[in-house]
Structure 1
Amino acid sequence: MLKGIPEILSPELLKVLCEMGHSDRLVIADGNFPVESMGKNAITIRCDGHGVPEILDAILKLFPLDTYVEHPVNLMEVMPGDNVETPIWDTYKEIVAKYDERGDKAVGNIERFAFYEEAKTAYCIISTSEKALYANIMLQKGVVINN
């Protein structure tokens, strides 16, 4: 065990977060996301029994967001015609604001099929048991700066 590391982060996930470099991307996927087919070229990690918000919060305690892009955090847009509410996005924006001074300005949206294409190039995709729809989130890693 280590001090200061959120216990929800498995040793495998910690290793992957450490391996990732500047601009590498990570997807935290909801329970409906096709993790294995999208992640054929990525490391896939299962976090069964957990939701996206708790994993997002734990990761952002350790993971700097990229300061060289406008939106280092991206959400999958709702498809036109889908009558889906996305209150979980507000939760994500609150969590991001705790760790990044840009707050919700760091969060953008990507059209659903474009999100899939971007996910195929991610370094890692985390599978969760999140039940909310359109609850997928993509993070782009920044640089760790020692102060």
Structure 2
Amino acid sequence: VLRADGLGADALLAAVIPLFELDVYATPVIMMAPVPGDSLDPAVEAKYRKALNYDGEIEQMERYAFYERAKKAYAVVITGETAKYGNIILKKGVTPLS
């Protein structure tokens, strides 16, 4: 677990993505789906897309399935993000040699 207290998730994503190749063989971005009866704020996904410079598919994962998937992550970064459903998982791809 790494701490980045005080940073919004979008700021951290923008800082990390130049060093982190996203997977091209599987959906590389996963966000938590809303619980039944709740809704997502589309601005959260939009700011993450902008930070990642990403226009591909984003998988929506049920809340408890998301938690189980996060337990298998290489690293978990805790930020100061306060957006509802602002959780995100990135799948790393192979970094090109050149």
- The two structures have a TM-score, normalised by structure 2, of 0.90
Give how far 1:123 is off: 0.9
Q: How many residues align?
A: 98
Q: Secondary structure at the match of 1:46?
A: strand
Q: Secondary structure at the match of 1:74?
A: strand
Contact 1:86–1:134 under 8 Å retained in 2: no
Q: Secondary structure at the match of 1:138?
A: strand
Give how far 1:117 is off: 0.8
Give how far 1:76 is off: 0.5
Q: 2:20 maps to what in 1?
A: 63
Give how far 1:87 is off: 1.4
Q: 1:81 maps to what in 2?
A: 37
1:42-98: CA deviations, max 9, x gaps?
Answer: xx00101111000011110100001121x11111011111255241111112223x2
Contact 2:32–2:63 under 8 Å retained in 1: yes
Q: 1:133 maps to what in 2?
A: 84
Which amino acid in the other structure matches residue 50 of structure 2?
A: E
Q: 2:7 maps to what in 1?
A: 50
Q: Secondary structure at the match of 1:143?
A: coil
Distance in 2 (alpha carbons) for counterparts of 1:109 and 1:83: 12
Structure 1 stretches of at least 4 aligned residues deviating more than 4 Å after TM superposition: none
- The two structures have a TM-score, normalised by structure 1, of 0.62
Which amino acid in the other structure matches residue 63 of structure 2?
A: R
Provide the alpha-carbon RMSD of the alignment: 1.4
1:11-37: CA deviations, max 9, x gaps?
Answer: xxxxxxxxxxxxxxxxxxxxxxxxxxx
The structure with more radius of gyration: 1
Contact 2:11–2:51 under 8 Å retained in 1: no
